[in-house]
Chain A
Amino acid sequence: MSAPHATSAAASSSKGDARPIAFVSAQALRERMHDAVNDPHLRKSFRGAMDFLMAKRAAQFPDEAELDSLRTLSEGIRQYSLSRLPDLLEQLEANLTRNGVQVHWAADADEANAIMLGIARRHAAKTIVKGKSMVSEEIEFNHAMHDAGVDALESDMGEYIVQLAGEKPSHIIMPAIHKTKEQIATLFAEKVPGVSYTDNVDTLIQIGRQVLREKFEQADIGLSGVNFAVAETGTLCLVENEGNGRMCTTVPRVHMAITGIEKVVEKLEHVAPLYSILTRSATGQAISTYFNMISGPRKPGEKDGPEEVHLILLDNGRSQAYADEQLRKTLQCIRCGACMNHCPVYTRIGGLAYGTTYPGPIGKIVSPHMMGLEQTHLLPTVSTLCGACGEVCPVRIPIPELLVRLRGEAQSKPHDNPVMVGQGAGYSPLASFVWRTWARIYARPGNYRIFSWLASRFRALTPSRQSGWTAARTPLTPAPRRLRDMVRDRQ
């Protein structure tokens, strides 16, 4: 799903990089965050864009009681679906197969790309036209196809812009939110043949649409994501605003859909509440412009639709999250992006700084499963635990609680039976020692009394430079008398 005209608000001086998987290390994350937060254009544009999106969402939920009951219902549906996930996936596969859809299972990105490349090869495909799919970003589909000599072209307007610029999406719903219309105008003038500079948004969209229209006709394969996969009917539901999703799934001879294994629900009636809360939470729309329900390839006698439909079900770390009762809640996500829209950290660094496919709060809790904690152990610490994400999450994922859990997994002493790949990757003997010492002081009243007395008595010795604190603040100094001294002395 992508919002119409969502690209007008933002600006960024972020560098484009055609081959990202940018994450690599905690140090690289620190550098990107530092650059982003010190970029005044980026700060201003994300602030404006997020304010706009927050207001749009709020306008969709004037009645708190209704929101509350819809969130409870949506959470219930997602938790119920996950509680029966293995059964529902088998049921989904059986019903899709009955409908004529070919189902494939992929353990990781490489397997998913290999499956889809195999399909492309079988059809001697030269061009694949894509609807918006974050899972395809997750597996770096475009690069895998490029390396194999197949063109993969984005047809969602935001994704098209990001692809032209050689960048990654900075938001899961509005991929090009970091770009100004002037930047897009320059980009089009440089990269689209026969186009001269114009920053008229309507004209820019028309230019894009014309380019894409031709590609839909030429493409051998259409690729899409899936918002909800319905087990009992074998139906793939796709939410979108531009109609490009419908084009991708109906015009080319072959349609490949890819989704994470968590997206399945049991019944058709489970879709309606999730769909309603998805669009209202995401873009503040009562309903999206298009809602596609795909239940198989073209049948004999039908005039349109693809001849072949494939579904690739991707794990890529999801079953690791699934195996743990608490971490499983991560998989309740319906990818609305409300958590990032309301996140004060995301608002200040934008989506590209994270270096992960999914940025913002949801990215911090889902990426460690996809990429392992070696690369991502710092990510869960980039939060004040303010709770704004959890407060707006339409399926009530306790994001702050999960961040705390991941901080623990990252910093615990490595052991033999880790619940996560890379468990203990953020382990620091020093931090561990500091907190053990802290516990020895604070868990024993006598020790704490002595420690706090010393801190107060010798407050003049308090360092005037206090790590990150004094970069922007005057130092913290203990009071001359502790509260306990004041309480004792008052009688």
Chain B
Amino acid sequence: MSSPSHAGEHAPRTYPPRPAAVYFYATCLVDLFVPEAGMDAITLLEREGIRVIFPESQSCCGQPAYSSGFPEEARKVAASQLDLFPGDYPIIVPSGSCAGMIRWHWEKIFADDPALHARAAAVAARTYELAEFLLHVVGFQRRDEGEPVTVTLHTSCSARREMGTHLVGRELLARLGNVTLAHHGHESECCGFGGSFSMKHPDISTAMVSDKVAALKATGAREVVTADCGCLLNITKRAEKEDLDAGRSKPSLPGEHLATFLLRRTGGQPARRS
């Protein structure tokens, strides 16, 4: 196993002082499939006295097309998002992979257009993954009002290797007095989602997610927490399928977005899906 303190390929970033307002860039997956996680992230930020601006015209960072080998389509979509953040506020993304796309790959897809490239770079510079923002900028520190519980944490590969934030999730959980974090085997290994990979190579994707679910369950933790909705859906939908196939009515591995978990533990009211 590689060292758990690996800081990612990029130099550690410096963080701004706490702003009066932020933009919230939810990502397409959150908007349509896990909106409650987005809502809980917004509530967390507002509870800290930060005004949250939700640009209505947001859709997607372009990553699905980019990573599938359709850079031109990714570029069109990304270009349509460049105007959404006119004020000089940080942009908060509740997902490591989308944050990584904006922070590191937008500059590449606009490399041959200086004007767009400059605007993309300006957006990238103030884009933060939610967990790193909560820890480093907000200084999240709330009393844990929940019962003692053991959870396990999955960090997305983008958060770990592009955003260098996997220790951030651990630190946030460590600030909850009644939460014990159980580490799982092969923790730094991918859950097997990989966007279109899960559709294009189902055999290998299934093998990977089954191994990940088994490792998470083996900790005996009551639930898995993750700051990335792609991984969250991959892991929990796999666990649900295993429960279904085994005829279990009680979920063997429930999962929550880190935002939902933090909000629920610290006296907040998580959003309901319906």
Are A and B interaction partners? yes
Interface residues of B in 62-97 (CB under 8 A from A): 62, 64-74, 76-77, 79-80
Interface residues of A in 392-433 (CB under 8 A from B): 392, 396, 401, 404, 406-412, 432
- Which residues of B lie under 8 Å from residue A441 when comparing CB positions? 59
Distance from B200 Cβ to chain A, minimum over Cβ atoms (Å): 6
Question: How many angstroms between the C-alpha atoms of A396 and B244 in the bound complex?
Answer: 43
The reply to whether the CB of B192 lies closer than 8 angstroms to some CB of chain A is yes
- Which residues of B lie under 8 Å from residue A57 when comparing CB positions? 2
The reply to whether the CB of B249 lies closer than 8 angstroms to some CB of chain A is no
The reply to whether the CB of A124 lies closer than 8 angstroms to some CB of chain B is no
Q: Is the CB of B9 within 8 A of A382?
A: no
- Which residues of B lie under 8 Å from residue A208 when comparing CB positions? none
The reply to whether the CB of A43 lies closer than 8 angstroms to some CB of chain B is yes
Q: Is the CB of B35 within 8 A of A483?
A: yes
Question: How many angstroms between the C-alpha atoms of A448 and B74 in the bound complex?
Answer: 15
Q: Is the CB of A472 within 8 A of B210?
A: yes
Q: Residue-by-residue, is B23-52 near A (CB-CB < 8 Å gives 1, otherwise 0)?
A: 000101011111110110010000000000
Q: Is the CB of A479 within 8 A of B35?
A: yes
- Which residues of A lie under 8 Å from residue B273 when comparing CB positions? 479-481
Interface residues of B in 206-261 (CB under 8 A from A): 206-210, 233-234, 237-238, 240-241, 244
Q: Is the CB of A381 within 8 A of B241?
A: no
| Pick from B6, B39, B56: contact of A391, CB under 8 Å | B6
The reply to whether the CB of A345 lies closer than 8 angstroms to some CB of chain B is yes
Distance from A123 Cβ to chain B, minimum over Cβ atoms (Å): 48
Interface residues of A in 439-471 (CB under 8 A from B): 439, 441-445, 448, 452, 455-456, 466-469, 471
Q: Is the CB of A64 within 8 A of B6?
A: yes
Question: How many angstroms between the C-alpha atoms of A482 and B35 in the bound complex?
Answer: 6
| Pick from A43, A61, A64, A484: contact of B31, CB under 8 Å | A484
Question: How many angstroms between the C-alpha atoms of A34 and B202 in the bound complex?
Answer: 9
Q: Residue-by-residue, is A39-80 near B (CB-CB < 8 Å gives 1, otherwise 0)?
A: 000010000000100110110011010000000000000000
- Which residues of A lie under 8 Å from residue B2 when comparing CB positions? 54, 57-58, 342, 391-392
Nearest B-chain residue to A480, judged by Cβ: B274
Known: A64-B6, A408-B70, A435-B70. A479 touches B42 (CB 8 A): no
The reply to whether the CB of A243 lies closer than 8 angstroms to some CB of chain B is no
Q: Is the CB of B209 within 8 A of A473?
A: yes
Q: Is the CB of A383 within 8 A of B234?
A: no
Distance from B254 Cβ to chain A, minimum over Cβ atoms (Å): 13
Summed over the interface, the residue pairs from A and B with CB atoms below 8 Å come to a total of: 212
Known: A442-B60, A474-B237. A408 touches B31 (CB 8 A): no
Q: Is the CB of B204 within 8 A of A435?
A: no
Question: How many angstroms between the C-alpha atoms of A480 and B70 in the bound complex?
Answer: 30
- Which residues of B lie under 8 Å from residue A20 when comparing CB positions? none
Q: Residue-by-residue, is A471-491 near B (CB-CB < 8 Å gives 1, otherwise 0)?
A: 111111111111111110010
Q: Is the CB of A474 within 8 A of B31?
A: no
Q: Is the CB of B274 within 8 A of A408?
A: no
Question: How many angstroms between the C-alpha atoms of A55 and B1 in the bound complex?
Answer: 5
- Which residues of B lie under 8 Å from residue A203 when comparing CB positions? none
| Pick from A64, A342, A472, A481: contact of B35, CB under 8 Å | A481
Known: A61-B3, A386-B190, A442-B80. A348 touches B204 (CB 8 A): yes
Distance from B26 Cβ to chain A, minimum over Cβ atoms (Å): 5
Question: How many angstroms between the C-alpha atoms of A456 and B34 in the bound complex?
Answer: 12
The reply to whether the CB of A387 lies closer than 8 angstroms to some CB of chain B is yes
Q: Is the CB of B34 within 8 A of A388?
A: no
Known: A383-B197, A435-B65. A472 touches B206 (CB 8 A): yes
Known: A383-B194, A474-B244, A484-B31. A349 touches B204 (CB 8 A): yes
Q: Is the CB of B32 within 8 A of A452?
A: yes
Listed residue (A404, A442, A476) with the most chain B CB atoms within 10 angstroms of its CB:
A442
- Which residues of B lie under 8 Å from residue A64 when comparing CB positions? 3, 5-7
The reply to whether the CB of B57 lies closer than 8 angstroms to some CB of chain A is yes
- Which residues of A lie under 8 Å from residue B210 when comparing CB positions? 472
Q: Is the CB of A384 within 8 A of B271?
A: no
Q: Is the CB of A483 within 8 A of B31?
A: yes
Question: How many angstroms between the C-alpha atoms of A387 and B10 in the bound complex?
Answer: 13
Listed residue (B80, B190, B273) with the most chain A CB atoms within 10 angstroms of its CB:
B190
Q: Is the CB of B64 within 8 A of A438?
A: yes
Distance from B33 Cβ to chain A, minimum over Cβ atoms (Å): 6
The reply to whether the CB of A4 lies closer than 8 angstroms to some CB of chain B is no
Q: Is the CB of A445 within 8 A of B57?
A: yes
Known: A383-B194, A445-B57. A468 touches B73 (CB 8 A): no
Q: Is the CB of B70 within 8 A of A411?
A: yes
- Which residues of A lie under 8 Å from residue B6 when comparing CB positions? 64, 391
Question: How many angstroms between the C-alpha atoms of A237 and B60 in the bound complex?
Answer: 50
- Which residues of B lie under 8 Å from residue A473 when comparing CB positions? 209, 234, 237-238, 240-241
Distance from A285 Cβ to chain B, minimum over Cβ atoms (Å): 17
Known: A348-B207, A452-B32, A468-B205. A483 touches B157 (CB 8 A): no
Q: Is the CB of A384 within 8 A of B241?
A: no
The reply to whether the CB of B189 lies closer than 8 angstroms to some CB of chain A is yes
Distance from B245 Cβ to chain A, minimum over Cβ atoms (Å): 10
Question: How many angstroms between the C-alpha atoms of A253 and B271 in the bound complex?
Answer: 79
Q: Is the CB of A479 within 8 A of B70?
A: no
Nearest A-chain residue to B235, judged by Cβ: A473
The reply to whether the CB of A100 lies closer than 8 angstroms to some CB of chain B is no
Known: A388-B190, A473-B234, A484-B31. A345 touches B204 (CB 8 A): yes
Q: Is the CB of A344 within 8 A of B192?
A: yes
The reply to whether the CB of B54 lies closer than 8 angstroms to some CB of chain A is yes
Q: List 26 A-B contacts (CB under 8 A).
A: A38-B203, A57-B2, A62-B3, A64-B3, A64-B5, A342-B2, A384-B208, A385-B194, A385-B197, A386-B190, A387-B157, A388-B189, A404-B66, A435-B73, A438-B73, A443-B59, A445-B56, A445-B80, A467-B199, A468-B200, A474-B240, A475-B237, A481-B274, A483-B31, A484-B56, A486-B36
Which 5 A-B pairs give the minimum distances between C-beta atoms? Answer: A384-B194, A407-B69, A468-B202, A386-B190, A473-B237
Known: A344-B190, A473-B240. 20 other contacts (CB 8 A): A43-B207, A61-B3, A64-B3, A64-B7, A387-B157, A388-B188, A388-B189, A404-B69, A407-B69, A408-B70, A443-B59, A445-B57, A452-B32, A468-B198, A472-B202, A472-B206, A474-B237, A477-B33, A478-B33, A479-B34
Where the two chains meet, the residues of B that have a C-beta atom closer than 8 Å to any C-beta of A are 1-3, 5-7, 9, 26, 28, 30-36, 38-39, 42, 54, 56-60, 62, 64-74, 76-77, 79-80, 108, 157-158, 160-162, 188-190, 192-210, 233-234, 237-238, 240-241, 244, 271, 273-274
